[in-house]
Amino acid sequence: MPRCQEGMARPGCQQAVFRFYEELNDFLSPDRRKHAFVHPFTGTPSVKDVIEALGVPHTEVDLILVDGRSVGFDHRLRGGERVAVYPVFEALDISPLNRLRPVPLRRTRFILDVHLGKLARYLRLMGFDALYRNDYDDSTIIGLARTEHRIILTRDRGLLKHGSVTHGYWLRNTEPRSQLLEIVRAFDLRRSARPFSRCLQCNVLLESVDKGTILADLPPRVRQACESFARCPGCQKLYWPGTHYQQMKALLVRLNLFPGPGQYT
């Protein structure tokens, strides 16, 4: 039997009017963005299945209204409905409505796919918990996201459509610095940033260390020029406000992402 198409009158064919809001339009074909459109379907599919068939991962959705009523992902469509789909609201309380994720992850912790290593480093530079390894496969990423309550960051839409994923974000930008700005804005992270408080290699929070206990480990010029130091309790790497620190700080200043002092300023 031919597939249902818009305007077709066939047994079992139904239609609903969909409207996607804000950044959810990024996932749609250009002719469907920022306005209502008719979508045909057969049977009584769940609204989640139809939304993902249109290209929008369920992790990007936080509110669905069917004929003005808040519904869950398992709501069945029967034809003739008007469906409004809204993105994740990290900074807005919509608790009276049927929020589709169990709870927002207010302790923002990330896990990044294998293509986002530089973004992971930038997020750690800002002080955010950003788990990353270049040998993680999709199942590992999904498992760690669930057990450690992390938000998956990825450029792979298919990863976010996995049924076990509850919190995830699809990056629109491809350049790492632009990706950092995108994440800071999307999750309203500017006020919670703690630059230079986390190890760039291990993702572990740094600890202050007394200069007198590490003199033997310092280059001669650093012994004379610096007084503030921090150590990673994981890999034991030492950090101090040297030339590399100044370069990274200048980058954050240019991006308007340097809100306050870090561990070893």
User: What would the pLDDT profile of 37-85 be if each residue is shown by its tens digit?
Assistant: 999 999 999 999 999 999 999 988 989 999 989 999 999 999 999 999 9
pLDDT number for residue 1: 36
DSSP state of 206: P
Predicted pLDDT of residue 187: 83
pLDDT digits (tens, 9 = 90+) for 105-147: 556 899 999 999 999 999 999 999 999 999 999 999 999 999 9
| Mean local confidence (pLDDT), 170-177 | 94
H or E stretch at 248 = helix 243-254
Selection from 14, 11, 1, 19 nearest residue 65 by Cα: 19
DSSP class per residue in 37-104: EEEEEES--BHHHHHHHTT--GGGEEEEEETTEEE-TTPBP-SS-EEEEEE--SSS--TTS--SSSS-
Question: What is residue 102's predicted lDDT score, i.e. its pLDDT?
Answer: 55
Per-residue confidence band for 2, with pLDDT thresholds at 50, 70 and 90: very low
pLDDT-based confidence at residue 257 (cuts at 50, 70, 90): confident
Query: For residues 6 and 14, what is the distance between their CA atoms, to the nearest angstrom?
Result: 9
How high is the pLDDT of residue 92? 42
Mean pLDDT of the chain: 86
If pLDDT is split at 50, 70 and 90, which confidence band does 265 have?
A: very low
Helix (H, G, I), strand (E, B) or coil at 114: coil
**Strands ordered across the beta sheet of 82-87:** 37-42, 13-20, 82-87, 61-66, 69-71
| Burial degree of 112 (CB within 10 A; 0-12, 13-18, 19+) | buried
